[in-house]
Amino acid sequence: MGKKKKNQSSSSSSATDLLQTLGDFTSKENWDKFFTIRGIGDSFEWYAEWPQLRDPLISLIGAPTSSPPPQILVPGCGNSRLSEHLYDAGFHGITNVDFSKVVISDMLRRNVRDRSDMRWRVMDMTSMQFMDETFDVILDKGGLDALMEPELGHKLGNQYLSEVKRLLKSGGKFVCLTLAESHVLGLLFPKFRFGWKMSVHAIPQKSSSEPSLQTFMVVADKENSSVVLQVTSSFDHSSLDCNKNQAFGIHEALESENQTRREYSHGSDILYSLEDLQLGAKGDMKNLSPGCRFELILGGEGDFCFSYRAVLLDARENSGPFMYNCGVFIVPKTRAHEWLFSSEEGQWLVVESSKAARLIMVLLDTSHASASMDEIQKDLSPLVKQLAPGKDDQGAQIPFMMAGDGIKHRNVVHQATSSLTGPIIVEDLVYENVDPEFSRIWPSEDLKFRRLVFQRTQGLVQSEALLMRDGSSHRTDVETERKKASSSSKSKRKGTQRRSDDSGNQLKVYHGYLASSYHMGIISGFTLISSYLESVASVGKSVKAVVIGLGAGLLPMFLHECMPFVGIEAVELDLTMLNLAEDYFGFTQDKSLKVHITDGIKFVREMKSSSATDEMSVVHGNEITSNNTRSCNGNCTASNARVDILIIDVDSPDSSSGMTCPAADFVEGSFLLTVKDALSEQGLFIVNLVSRSQATKDMVISRMKMVFNHLFCLQLEEDVNLVLFGLSSESCIKDNSFPEAAVQLGKLVKFQHLEISQSIMDAAKKIRCLK
């Protein structure tokens, strides 16, 4: 309730001083002591008094002569004269409750003769021993405020309001006299959001020379409807006779709550609480509603250890037969981002395979990392039981199913934080099952992979590499020489960390294979210009490729290893990424593989300007050369004129655009036009697009169609990545020429394993023309 409420007393200064000794307003012992000292005849009034309350209260409660007379409960009655005044006004069906035996005994003695029908009970207002739906009116004068000491949180207030809702009859009223502080309204408004009509009224104050805290009357009418109604107020905020902070606070609370209620009413994406559902927000949860799907939050307060984000799905029509009436499916954090669990379409497939009439899919996150599955299941069990359809059946078991994260062993190698990218993790892991392709190539290996993970995008694996023991991947002498050349520059860096090129029989990144399917998809798109690539390579010339977004450097290193006729310039905004790529993913630079630390859009625009003048590029600052000196720190242009292959593979720090990759600026029409001008006549533009919004995908495709003469796409199976390929040439490959072009590309790429070449050719067959 807070100490400031104590100044609202109209009693003498000695009474106020006495009240200051209470300290904890939720302590029974403190209140017993307080009432013992005050004595039987000295009443104490919280907030407004009877002259200010009489008219609004009587108009709300109705006629005292109605039949049957209204049953009124006054919880936390204390020694206030409020119930006595109501009794004298004709309302005799009044029950008073307080947990202080001292005050109940005093009030009973004070009223036993003159108000013999009035009842007095020693009872805790957070757990009252009355039958459900006993009262027509529950009248609270400061009781909720007393329970809501800010340092104690919502627990007691939450328990009390649950009792209020249980005890009120249908059509009954909860009348709460309160100072309407934000932490009180923050609990009160949501608790009565579904199935209740709420209004707020200002109680007139006594004349005073200075503005003081005003008493408000919040009324909640219990209705049978599940319609979400706005909270109404009977006063003009500008005319409130109270201090500015209190007036501003109640205005903000009303605006915020009504905005939330509008979102519910308009069907916006809402995370429902368990209590919302119990109040009828989605109808009667005991009944199955085929095809119903919504998101909710479970736990997070009371006796529960964790909060859980979940999706409830009732199986679609004609989906049976079912093995279970209700089931729970737990998705670990490492797999929550996958299409199967993050998209509606994928979730319905999980429902079908679960054989459950109602499936509650629980998506774990980082907050559950320290908990075992047994602990999580124990925490969830009482929550999901409340969501099971049908009549209560103590014998019915709700099965818990789980999507394995597929990881046999995980080891965090390094953690870093970048001012641009945020928290980053480098981790090594062994999968429980690997692609059959791996088993064919390395049948005796217990394969280990290294991943680069951005934590700002939950579950996003930015890069993934295959680790091999030194020698097992048949490294070339060229790579060995590059590593030796780079070692001196690396040793100059302060705080030398564990590196991927340590001596001895260490696991090292194998750059002859791309573990990420979308990287393989990008390479398969080279099929579209395979004839051009062959013509350049056959005469000993170089194809120029620019990769915007270095990541762990795996794609540029693959091109360098397997397509030596390609000169690569990688552009990365974050220097931390280059450091991680060199330290943990075996990335090195030489005269045909350079990195620029600069803005990708700026780099492409300068590349366009350079190609327009057909001049050699100029680097202002420190150019990266074969001795691996550091990058040009923001003022770079390309080292050649036009580019043959331009790849955009950057993630977005802002997912509000609907895209995880790339950042929205990279698919703006103006930038796409700049790209087209920077490309050579046979140039290929590639974008890795990651979005779960079909509208966003359609928008990007529409923009690219307007710029490029030909547009192709590759949708990776069970993946959100859509790889787009734009060609600026007038002519392009025919559909019936894809097999031949794929074979042509396979000959250009220097694979150590033919099986890897086959996977790229298989992906090329799935490329389809959009324009």
Alpha-carbon gap, residue 746 to 588, rounded angstroms: 25
Residue 653 has pLDDT above 80, yes or no: no
pLDDT of the residue at 75:
95
- The answer to which of 148-162, 185-199, 273-287, 749-763 has the lowest mean pLDDT is 749-763
pLDDT (mean) for 679-690: 91
- pLDDT (tens digit, 9 = 90+) per residue, 4-39? 343 444 434 444 444 444 445 566 666 666 656 655
pLDDT (mean) for 253-281: 79
pLDDT of the residue at 138:
96
pLDDT of the residue at 634:
47
Amino acid in the structure at residue 169: K
pLDDT of the residue at 213:
81
What's the token pair of residue 733?
């490959």
pLDDT confidence band for 40 (50 / 70 / 90)? low
> CA 187, 190, 193, 195 torsion: positive or negative?
negative
86 three-class SS: helix
Write down the mean pLDDT value for the chain: 80
pLDDT confidence band for 459 (50 / 70 / 90)? low
Alpha-carbon gap, residue 747 to 93, rounded angstroms: 94
Alpha helices in 548-693 (DSSP H): 554-562, 575-584, 600-613, 669-678
- pLDDT (tens digit, 9 = 90+) per residue, 346-355? 899 999 989 9
What's the token pair of residue 270?
């809402």
Alpha-carbon gap, residue 247 to 251, rounded angstroms: 6
Question: Do residues 493 and 539 touch, judged by C-beta distance below 8 A?
Answer: no
> CA 764, 765, 766, 768 torsion: positive or negative?
positive
pLDDT confidence band for 618 (50 / 70 / 90)? very low
- pLDDT (tens digit, 9 = 90+) per residue, 97-156? 998 898 888 889 889 889 999 999 999 999 999 999 999 999 999 889 888 876 666 788
- The answer to which of 127-136, 166-175, 202-211 has the lowest mean pLDDT is 202-211
Identify which of 585, 564, 597 has the alpha carbon closest to the alpha carbon of residue 483: 585
Domains of the chain, earliest start first: 24-264 (3.40.50.150), 271-402 (3.40.50), 407-469 (no CATH), 517-609+640-769 (3.40.50.150)
- pLDDT (tens digit, 9 = 90+) per residue, 490-535? 333 444 344 444 444 578 898 888 888 888 889 988 999 888 999 9
pLDDT of the residue at 36:
63
Q: How wide is the angle at C-alpha 750 spanned by C-alphas 559 and 516, nearest 5°?
A: 50
Residue 625 has pLDDT above 80, yes or no: no
pTM over 0.85: no
pLDDT of the residue at 405:
64
Question: pLDDT exceeding 70 applies to what percent of the chain?
Answer: 78
Question: pLDDT exceeding 90 applies to what percent of the chain?
Answer: 33
Alpha-carbon gap, residue 79 to 35, rounded angstroms: 8
Residue 571 has pLDDT above 90, yes or no: yes
pLDDT of the residue at 83:
93
pLDDT (mean) for 56-81: 88
pLDDT of the residue at 686:
94
- pLDDT (tens digit, 9 = 90+) per residue, 572-589? 999 999 999 999 999 999
pLDDT of the residue at 495:
41
When comparing pLDDT for 345 and 269, which is higher? 345
- pLDDT (tens digit, 9 = 90+) per residue, 316-334? 988 888 999 999 999 988 7
